[in-house]
Amino acid sequence: MHVIISSSLSVNSNSRKMALLAKQIIGGDAFFIDLREYPLPLCDGSKEKPDALAEIHEKIASAHSIILAGPVYNYDLNAAAKNLIEWTGYAWNKKVVACMLAAGGKNSYMAPLSFMNTLILDFRCIVVPRYVYADRFAFAEGEIDAKVVTRIEELINYTTKLGTTIHQFHQDLL
């Protein structure tokens, strides 16, 4: 199973459009997490977990790969994505993770790097180094530019194959 996370909380989110396309490409083997449907409070280190967290945690923990789609604000991935990581923590352990980002301009291209470092160092994730970055010009009239669609398809195919292979490798070790 592969998990797709839409971390944008905006109704008119371009990154959500990318996440929905990823869901369509993967098909029935995908579980879609839209953070708009799972209102999570800010993680404060409390041992009391929100009710919505149980399903999200279980899906992330059992995923072969995770595709995270999110917006870029102030040269970084949005706070909702970071908050999700803080709540779900070790469910991300040893997962294959890919990112798809929507931003206003071209200057935030390196935005996900600190997020990726967290996944690598804290949870030993295998982060796909080639991610999809699309600025506002890639979303004309509600449609995703064909070149971006091709990059999304390539990212999804690579990530899901790698995720399935790594998952099987971990199973063989047990």
CATH of the domain at 99: 3.40.50.360
Check if the beta carbon of residue 42 is closer than 8 Å to that of residue 83. Answer: yes
Of 69, 121, 49, the closest CA to residue 92 belongs to 121
- Structural domain total, the chain: 1
> pLDDT digit string (tens) for 4-42?
999 999 989 999 999 999 999 999 999 999 999 998 999
Model's pTM, two decimal places? 0.95
Check if the beta carbon of residue 65 is closer than 8 Å to that of residue 3. Answer: yes
Q: Which domain holds residue 38?
A: 2-173
> pLDDT digit string (tens) for 88-146?
999 999 999 999 999 988 888 898 898 999 999 999 999 999 999 999 999 998 899 99
Q: How far apart are CA 76 and CA 151, in angstroms?
A: 21
Q: How far apart are CA 99 and CA 118, in angstroms?
A: 13
